[in-house]
Amino acid sequence: FSRANPQQLYLPVTIDPEYHYEAINVENQQKNLSSLLWWTRRVIAMRKNFKAFSRGSLEFLNPDNPKVLAFLRRWENETIVVIVNLSRFSQSAELDLSRFAGCVPMEVFSRNLFRPIRKTHYVITLGPHAYYWFALQAPIDARRALKKHVVPTIKAPAQLEVLLGNSQREQIEREVLPNHIQNSRWFGSKARTFRNLEVKEQLAFSPDAEGARLWFVEVNYLDAPTETYAIPVKIASGETAHAIAQNAPHAIVAHFGRRNGAILCDAIWDSAFRSQLFDAIVRRRTLRAQAGQFVGLTTSGLESQDFDVSANSHVLSAEQSNSSMLFDNKFFLKLYRKLEDGVNPDVEITRFLTEQTDFPNVPAFVGALEYRRAKAEPTVVCLLQRAVPNEGNVWTLTVDALGRYYERVLERKADFQNETAPPGVLINELVGGVYPEKVKLLGQRTGELHLALASRSNDPAFAPESFNAMAQRSVYQSMRTSLRRAFTSLEKKLSDVPAKFRSEAREVLAAEKEILAREKRLLDRRNNAAKIRIHGDYHLGQLLYTGKDFVILDFEGEPARPLSDRKMKRSALRDVAGMMRSFQYAAYAALWQQAMRKEDVPFLERWADLWYRQTSSMFLQSYLSTTTGAMFIPKNSDDLQVMLEAYLLDKAVYEIGYELNNRPSWVLIPVRGIKHILQMT
């Protein structure tokens, strides 16, 4: 800590070789993120993130193992569990955390979630002198249920056949279903002004009176077109109802005013209903409803032994706009909540890639469930695919890689303090590891996807089309409208943006004419690049990593857009721009994690931008190498630059509007993205 003359120090210098000042000193420990210095810094930073550590109450838990110390720190809504192994040997202990049943322990440094707490004792295992700091989190759906609504009560017998009768239908359509829909994650029109709803169709999956039913609910708005949603319902009672109330409270649609605890619930939480959905598809059943019929479809080559797995299934808990189920880890079934007439692009593209191309990097299409009625296009209700064993999505993989990158930068912080423009070789060294090779593989797979989508000129739905002057003008008009809408919103909501970012937001607002001029250059180019079917909502969260390769998911497009719009052919560079923007989001998401010390963030921001530029460049070069000579890539490099820049700007402009409505503190990401794009040329 000091360069003073050792003879002038109050105490003598340690002469033990292991702890001598030439071995143990700040300069050396600064370069090693595993050192005591960095550990202390991280602990202090984490302590500042939770007021419970400094102001909370202290309560010892008295585990069964005396060599394990465990206690609670609580302050307002914060509950921290600290568990420490006081022994030099591994230890196991049981803790009585039953009062927190349903909560999920989150390890505060890694933000990894551990097993949920149950009514039984919680078993924990620790290595020698190991410790855990857990923040207890209520389940997401439970928090939402407690925060947003009270479940209504139906004053009628617990029988499905009477709920839509004349005497009960009014309460179902005016109170029960509006309450449930508006508090469901999959309902995407919460900002619209609700008018009324009506159950237009219902299907009984079995002749059993207690069997589940699938309702089609038509929702009307004062300020938007009508939408139709699929809601499967079932009546549960006894232990089944209790289990749903404990594990999925958001699935409860209503209570019945009886003493047996019966509930009306979302039927996806009923294993029998999930099996019926699966069987309807794989056995190609035709089920008659009131106004139409449901028809199961399958691809060729489905073996009969595959039919026997449907009883072993569970609901996937990931938050999304549809409902997903996994069958025996072999099949993945998606129930579309928002329904529109016509083939869903998710089904259409997945089936095309499976049956008509050799592109293997998508979950194989198995089948679908369609709703058919006279004088209307079929409506896709469910999609069934092969399940893909994987290590998680590529967003998580990327954020983890970024965490290691930031650690390497911090280890050399003292060397970089005076650096202004580190050379490319240094950036390559810091990015390090195998992640750059994965980025190149991702670029290659993206190119191969577009080549596959453009490979069948004899199929009108997938045949490439000319990106002519009319198409260029249409794209430009759409970009101009989006820019004006987003910047008007930014001007109105500038006060919502954190004060330290407002000057940068004003810089971008002042550049509106320049952005428009860059986008307008599309009209000056007459390139021969074709329009093709694309993914439409391409980002890191739409891919899984298998350990060796990538699998691309969710070809549904942006759910907020009309079905006809999502099926349009567009420039492949739109997908490329979406992925490049996703890299910048990942860079800042990793930087703003709670485990990151706040004092390190300003220093690392510049390195986040450098990582984003380097990684985006690697991805783009790999993509262009894969698609050399493809009809959907402009032949002229200047045309390519103009088109890619326009799509990058358009995507960043869209992100500004999205973040202002959802996460104003994140608006810095697209703002800096626009500044970077404008500085590229």
- The whole-number average pLDDT for the span 272-279 is 91
At CA 296, angle to CA 290 and CA 301, rounded to 5? 170
- The whole-number average pLDDT for the span 118-141 is 86
How far apart are the C-alpha atoms of 107 and 284, rounded to whole Å? 46
- Specify the CATH superfamily of domain 1-137: Golgi alpha-mannosidase II (2.60.40.1180)
How far apart are the C-alpha atoms of 350 and 385, rounded to whole Å? 9
Other C-beta atoms lying within 10 Å of the C-beta of residue 664: 16
Among the ranges given (52-61, 81-90, 594-603), the one the predictor scored with the smallest mean pLDDT: 594-603
Return residue ranges of the chain for CATH 3.30.200: 274-386
Instruction: Give the model confidence (pLDDT) of 33-46 as tens digits.
Output: 788 888 888 888 88
Q: Contact at 8 Å (CB) between 64 and 94?
A: yes
- The whole-number average pLDDT for the span 67-79 is 91
Task: Outline where DSSP puts E strands in 532-592.
Answer: 543-545, 550-552
Instruction: Identify which of 246, 256, 264 has the alpha carbon closest to the alpha carbon of residue 142.
Output: 246
- Specify the CATH superfamily of domain 390-463+535-568+573-626: Aminoglycoside phosphotransferase (APH), C-terminal lobe (3.90.1200.10)
- The whole-number average pLDDT for the span 247-260 is 81
Q: What is the pLDDT of residue 258?
A: 64
Secondary structure of the chain: what % helix, strand, coil (to 5)?
45, 20, 35
Instruction: Identify which of 646, 634, 635, 633 has the alpha carbon closest to the alpha carbon of residue 681.
Output: 646
What does pLDDT average to over the chain?
Answer: 87
Flag whether pLDDT at 584 surpasses 50. Answer: yes
CA torsion angle for 172, 173, 176, 182 (degrees, to 10)? 160
Instruction: Give the model confidence (pLDDT) of 586-605 as tens digits.
Output: 999 999 887 788 888 888 88
Task: Name residues whose C-beta falls within 8 Å of residue 681's C-beta, 6 or more positions apart in sequence.
Answer: 641, 645
User: How sure is the predictor about 531, in pLDDT bands with cuts at 50, 70 and 90?
Assistant: very high
Return residue ranges of the chain for CATH 3.90.1200.10: 390-463+535-568+573-626
Q: Contact at 8 Å (CB) between 180 and 250?
A: no
How far apart are the C-alpha atoms of 9 and 26, rounded to whole Å? 17
Q: What is the pLDDT of residue 46?
A: 84
Instruction: Give the model confidence (pLDDT) of 290-317 as tens digits.
Output: 889 999 999 876 665 556 666 688 888 7
Query: What DSSP state is assigned to residue 14?
Result: P
User: How sure is the predictor about 419, in pLDDT bands with cuts at 50, 70 and 90?
Assistant: low
How far apart are the C-alpha atoms of 81 and 99, rounded to whole Å? 13
Query: What DSSP state is assigned to residue 116?
Result: P
At CA 404, angle to CA 400 and CA 410, rounded to 5? 140
How far apart are the C-alpha atoms of 638 and 646, rounded to whole Å? 12
Among the ranges given (108-112, 417-421, 528-532, 563-567), the one the predictor scored with the smallest mean pLDDT: 417-421
Among the ranges given (11-25, 60-74, 398-412, 531-545), the one the predictor scored with the smallest mean pLDDT: 11-25
Q: What percent of the chain has pLDDT over 90?
A: 42
Query: What DSSP state is assigned to residue 172?
Result: I
Flag whether pLDDT at 354 surpasses 70. Answer: yes
Task: Quote the tokens at residue 507.
Answer: 């810089």
Return residue ranges of the chain for CATH 2.60.40.1180: 1-137
How far apart are the C-alpha atoms of 432 and 23, rounded to whole Å? 27
R_g over Cα of the chain? 28
Other C-beta atoms lying within 10 Å of the C-beta of residue 242: 13
Among the ranges given (259-263, 294-298, 529-533, 668-672), the one the predictor scored with the smallest mean pLDDT: 259-263
DSSP-derived 3-state class of residue 442:
helix
Best CATH choice for the domain 274-386 from the list 1.10.1060, 3.40.140, 3.30.200, 1.10.20: 3.30.200
Backbone angles phi, psi at 148, to 5 degrees: -105, -35
Q: What is the pLDDT of residue 425?
A: 66
Note the Cα 210 to chain centre separation in Å: 36
Instruction: Give the model confidence (pLDDT) of 156-181 as tens digits.
Output: 877 888 888 877 888 888 889 998 99
Q: What is the pLDDT of residue 144?
A: 46
